Amino acid sequence: MAPLFNLMLAILSIFVGSCFSESPTKVQLVGGAHRCEGRVEVEHNGQWGTVCDDGWDRRDVAVVCRELNCGAVIQTPRGASYQPPASEQRVLIQGVDCNGTEDTLAQCELNYDVFDCSHEEDAGAQCENPDSDLLFIPEDVRLVDGPGHCQGRVEVLHQSQWSTVCKAGWNLQVSKVVCRQLGCGRALLTYGSCNKNTQGKGPIWMGKMSCSGQEANLRSCLLSRLENNCTHGEDTWMECEDPFELKLVGGDTPCSGRLEVLHKGSWGSVCDDNWGEKEDQVVCKQLGCGKSLHPSPKTRKIYGPGAGRIWLDDVNCSGKEQSLEFCRHRLWGYHDCTHKEDVEVICTDFDV
């Protein structure tokens, strides 16, 4: 019996090693109304991913709440009820088995052998929120007292009340998300409102946002408490580019012609330095046209040169952008071109 028993132990150790290997180093709740509610995400080997809800129960949620210092369990919601995870995220854990007394999820039995789980089965958690009323995921954001809705003092909304934002908890990556959420262009500047004319009144939000800069809105960013005694002299002021307005001029349809962009109330052309098919794709997408036909250099320049300003040069897109405003480019009006180098774009007709 001894050889057989040893063999069974060896097989069991292999199974345990493959199914309950390294534990996640971090856990977070994403997409909820505050940091103590949302879809459960774990980090494993440097990668963030979700947890399958197979066997997920209040004991597992209790451990997550304890690890995040979020008080008691409220409920075990479905993770799919929150904003869906990033497209590149995977389900990293098939099963979790906690007795409910562990201090961290890493101390529970975790099965990394994911074989049958989609993001529709992501685990969720809702815990008490121990933070004060001033630490909340913003319901909305706006820029006020600026020359337009794309420049101004940052204010966030919670329970019908607008609050200013302390500069110490803000950075360029967060500004990028705000510009995108407001439908503006690239983030240009972020600084404190030193001028009394730009300072706000009322409550000051004491949260610190952590964003990658790629999120669609602030609700997708992480939130933590800002340990800082801010005054309205440190209110956050930020500026985005105005949203791009595009048109194609001189073609038989609005989906072909010389590219022009609107800036400061004037239409101007775009230089073709480094312009290629990816840039064409973004323009066609933004205009609601079909696919880019990307004419060869020999068939270009059939719509004639533009007149007036050349607004953009050295535009560089990945092709995935929804608008030209998210592509890199020189500062507005800076170029080394003539109108003989104006960009022309030909797309198939409007999408239906």
pLDDT of residue 327 exceeding 90, the answer is no
- DSSP character for 322? S
Residue located via tokens 């949302």: 38
Across the range 82-96, mean pLDDT stands at: 82
For 165, other C-beta atoms within 10 Å of its C-beta total 29
For 20, other C-beta atoms within 10 Å of its C-beta total 16
Tens-place pLDDT, residues 156-170: 987 778 989 888 888
Q: How far apart are CA 313 and CA 149, in angstroms?
A: 26
Helix (H) or strand (E) holding 65: helix 58-67
Q: Backbone dihedral region of 265: left (phi > 0), alpha (psi from -120 to 50 degrees) or beta? A: left
Residue-level pLDDT at 56: 93
Residue-level pLDDT at 89: 84
Tell me if 187 sits within 8 A of 176, measured CB to CB.
yes
Q: How far apart are CA 157 and CA 201, in angstroms?
A: 14
pLDDT of residue 94 exceeding 70, the answer is yes
pLDDT of residue 46 exceeding 50, the answer is yes
Residue-level pLDDT at 146: 87
Rg of the chain taking only CA atoms, in angstroms: 26
Helix (H) or strand (E) holding 19: helix 2-19
Tell me if 220 sits within 8 A of 238, measured CB to CB.
no
Highest mean pLDDT among 125-139, 147-161, 248-262: 248-262
In degrees, rounded to 5, the angle at the alpha carbon of residue 45 between the alpha carbons of residues 43 and 48 is: 30
Amino acid (one-letter) located at 74: I
Residue-level pLDDT at 18: 35
Tens-place pLDDT, residues 184-197: 888 888 887 666 67
Cα dist from 157 to 138, 203, 231, whole Å = 6, 11, 18
Burial class (CB in 10 A: 0-12, 13-18, 19+), 287: buried
Tens-place pLDDT, residues 286-314: 999 988 887 655 456 778 788 889 999 99
Highest mean pLDDT among 67-71, 114-118, 183-187, 282-286: 282-286
Residue-level pLDDT at 20: 38
Task: Give residue 114's Cα distance to chain centre.
Answer: 26
Tell me if 278 sits within 8 A of 286, measured CB to CB.
no
Domains and CATH numbers, the chain: 2-127 (3.10.250.10), 140-240 (3.10.250.10), 246-346 (3.10.250.10)
For 341, other C-beta atoms within 10 Å of its C-beta total 18
